[in-house]
Structures are given as structure tokens and as C-alpha cells.
Amino acid sequence: MVSADFSVNSGAVFTEAIGNDRLDLLTDYPFTRLANLLAPITPRANVAPVLLTVGEPQHTPPAIIEETLRASASGWNKYPPVGGTPEFRAATGDWLTRRYDLPAGLLHADSSILPLSGTREALFMLALLAVPTRKAGRQPAVLMPNPFYAPYEGAAVMAGAEPVFLSATRETGFLPDLDALTPELLERTALFYLCTPANPQGAAATPAYLAKAIALARQYGFVLAVDECYAEIWLDAPPVGALQVAAGLPYADGKPWSNLLVFHSLSKRSSAAGLRSGFVAGDPALIGRFSRLRSYGCAGMPLPILAASTALWQDEAHVEENRAAYRAKFAAAEAELGGRYGYYRPAGGFFLWLEVGNGEEAAKRLWAEGAVRVLPGAYLSRSNPGEPNPGEAFIRVALVQDTDTVAQACASIVRILG
């Protein structure tokens, strides 16, 4: 079985801490923790394992990828430029303008977009760009929703900031409550990661919510990073994007994107996690500085992959097919789960976020009794002092397999967990 959640390679292999002690502030990565949790358990014999842990779509990737890679093979012997190609920037700029209905000409692709070899590494590296030594005379804070995509925390910690986990529960619409942020915290905030549609809960921010977040970033002088990696996996209506909202806000000096960066990926949109392809767009001043930083520390996106990515961003047919496949899977899951475990239909993304009592115990039972592999919610979240861990009672189920497999897995969940 080749799956990212089966590798058990934690920092525990070192007998004593060496090097950067900030790393010791992090736990093992969620999938390493899961592999350790489930390693002692052998699922019942004769049941094929169903992997619903990693957000890695198993749909066949579009044929465009292979065709373009073959046609641009002469680029493999070249070091790619950090800024990618004009064609890539134009295709992603046009896509953003179409998708978010931006006024023609407002987004200057050449100064506002950088290609990324997957968004994970750039979301991580962003903290090195955004976190100063001190902010308002204190240790800088990096805000993130709780639960959250694990690299946000890793980035904050390794950049020397304090990660601040903002509860995103059913009560807050599964997004952080912006009204609860105090001026004391905002003054020392260097970076705020928001994820919409959210992983794992699938909640999408409203225009008013994003407008408020953008206004706070500008008022308090921090970077707002909006992770829109699930923007194209939606059920009923396309979620609004942060650039779209920013374009409608008043702005001065021809600077509509100040303080704002958005991250987009082909991993989910085009079922191409292995291509490692995404981009960041927004504030040209930040993009310029990011480009300088990335010149020191990143591999550029190889030219054949830039060509394949360009073609993918120009094509919508395969994305519509993908969306139809996810709709069918949610319908199948909904039919099997019948409202159990607080099931709700998310605005976007491809996860079920199910309240099962104790997520770790549920994950163990599902693996032992049904060979169904899911992620305990607590591995995606942290406890704040005096508060329960907002993920503890949940499991995350990634609807990445085909519809029949998803339906059978949901039936197993009901049979095993009751």
C-alpha cells in the first residue's frame, strides 16, 4: 500500500535533540501520528483497506497533463525561473479574473503571481516572509483556525512566532470568530492563515467575513494568507474568494491587494497532487519579496510542469467532471449516514467532519473492525488552556475514493460506530 499516512518516520528516531530546538515544539505530523496509532492494529482478515485519510483525490488525472508534459519535454534540462513563464502567469491571472469576476486589468499577473511547487511548501515558507523579529515590541503572533492545516503551525513555530489557535466550531460557523480578536493580539499579529472552504469542516467565508479580515490586516499591518486550495470543489455555489472581495473594497494608490495573498492549487481542482503545482497571488509588494526569498530557498516549477499547469488552468471541463463526482459521493454519504454524527452538507471541499464522541477511539475501531482508515480530528487541532480540543470528538473522512467505495465505507461507519 503506497499512502502518505503509512510512513512512520518521526523525529523520535533521534536519541537526543540536535539542531533547531523549535522543531521539538511540534508534534509528529498528523499522518505519522495516525500511522503510530494504527500500527499495532491488524484489520479483520479478508477486508480490503479503504483509505480515507489523506486529501489525495483518486480520480484519474486529466489527459492534458501527460500530453503537455510530453510536448514540452525539452524543458527538463533547464533550471526554471522563480517567476515561471509569462504563459503560466497569464493563464492563472485570466483564471482568477474569470473565476472571481475581477474587473478587467485589475490584476497584473506579471507582478502579482508566483508559481509554487504545490502550495504546502509556500504556505510554510510564508512565515519566513511575514514574521519579523518583534511586532509591537513583543513576540509576533501567527493566527490560524483550529482545527487547521498542519503546515500553518509548523511555519509559525519554525519562524519563531507564537501560533495562536482560533476555535472554529459549529458555534462559530466553523470559521474563527473575528469579533473575538483583541487589539492586544492583533497588534502583534504578523500573519493570519485563513482557509476557505475550510479543511476539514468545508465552511466557506462570506464576503462580509473576508472584508472584515482584510480590513483587520490593513489596520494592524499583518499579512492575510487565504488558503483557497478547495475553492473549486464546491457543491451548490462557487465560494467567494478573497481577491474578489478585495476588488470590491475601497482602496488607495492603485493597490487593491494590499496585505493579501491567496493560495491556489491543482492538487484538488485537477486531481493532480503528484504534479506539485499551485500559485500564490495578491499584493505585488509581498509577491516581490516572496520572489526574492524563494530565489534563495526554493526549487522553481520545472518548465514542463509549468506548461502542463498552464493548460490545466485554461481548462474547466475536467473540473466540472470532478465536481459532479464529488456531488455524487456526498449524496451517497448522506444517504448512508442519514444525519448521524452531526452530518451536514459542506459548502466546499471533500471532507466529512463527523462528531463521533472520541475521534481516536473511532479511528481505531473503524480500522480494526472495517479496515476503514480515517483521521482523528484531534490530530488537526490543538487545545487552548482551559478549553476542550475542538477536534477531539471528530473524525475527518476524505471522500477521495469512488462513489461505491465511499458508500460502503459510510455503511461500515454506521455499522461499527452505531
Ligand X SMILES: Cc1ncc(COP(=O)(O)O)c(C=O)c1O
Do residues 154 and 319 lie in contact, with contact meaning Cβ atoms separated by under 8 Å?
Answer: no
Q: At what angle do helices 303-313 and 63-71 cross, to 10 degrees?
A: 140
Nearer to ligand X, 82 or 229 (CB): 229
Q: Quick one: 50 or 225, whose CB is closer to ligand X?
A: 225
In angstroms, the first-to-last Cα distance of the chain is: 29
Residue with Cβ nearer ligand X (119 or 389): 119
* Residue 157, φ and ψ in degrees, nearest 5: -65, -45
Q: In this structure, what C-alpha cell is assigned to residue 383?
A: 487545545
User: Cβ distance 124 to 309 under 8 Å?
Assistant: no
Residues forming the site for ligand X (CB under 6 A): 55, 118-120, 123, 149, 195, 199, 227, 229, 265, 267, 273, 278
Choice between 140 and 151, CB closer to ligand X? 151
| Alpha carbons 299 and 181: distance in angstroms, whole number | 37
Picking from 113, 146, 226, the residue whose alpha carbon sits closest to that of residue 391 is 146
Nearer to ligand X, 233 or 417 (CB): 233
Residue 188 or 269: the one with the smaller Cβ distance to ligand X is 269
**Amino acid identity, position 25:** L
Q: Is the dihedral of CA 231, 5, 375, 193 positive or negative?
A: negative
Least separation in angstroms between CB 198 and ligand X? 8
Least CB distance to ligand X at residue 351 (A) = 9
Q: How far is the CB of 54 from ligand X (least distance, A)?
A: 8
| Shortest Cβ 298–ligand X spacing (Å) | 13
To ligand X, the closest distance from the beta carbon of 71 in angstroms equals: 24
Work out whether the CA dihedral 126, 396, 204, 173 comes out positive or negative.
negative
Cell representation of residue 227: 488558503
